[in-house]
Amino acid sequence: MAPGLLDLVHLTTWAVCAVIKLPQLVAVLRAGSAWGLSLSSLLLELAGYLVFLRYQIYYGYPLETYLEYPIIIAQVLIRFIIMLILNIWVTATILHYRKTRKTD
């Protein structure tokens, strides 16, 4: 493959990976709820990406062959953090509601 074409393919892949998880992030933030997201599936997805990234680094593959994985891992971590924050907020709201209902 021609070097210029290969560079274009790499850049296209990185661009797609940079936005691949954004629709789900936007949907979760708009809904203000992490309902429908599974913690175990996020952790499994993260583990898979981390194992693959470690494999690529260990065997000395060129950075261009796996650079999209750190981008995807960052997006998975952001989804994980958002899910935890929303779940903590929902739990705190429910506990506050139950506490105020008992005093009435």
90's tokens: 């929902």
pLDDT tens series, the chain, 104 aa: 577 887 787 788 778 877 777 787 788 788 877 777 778 888 898 999 999 999 999 999 988 788 888 888 998 899 899 888 888 877 788 777 788 877 65
Q: What local confidence, expressed as pLDDT, does residue 50 receive?
A: 94
- Decide: 73 and 53 in contact? Cβ < 8 Å: yes
Q: What local confidence, expressed as pLDDT, does residue 104 receive?
A: 57
Global pTM? 0.70
Q: What local confidence, expressed as pLDDT, does residue 26 receive?
A: 82
89's tokens: 């907020």
Q: What local confidence, expressed as pLDDT, does residue 47 receive?
A: 93
**Coil/strand/helix, residue 14:** helix
Q: How many residues does the chain have?
A: 104
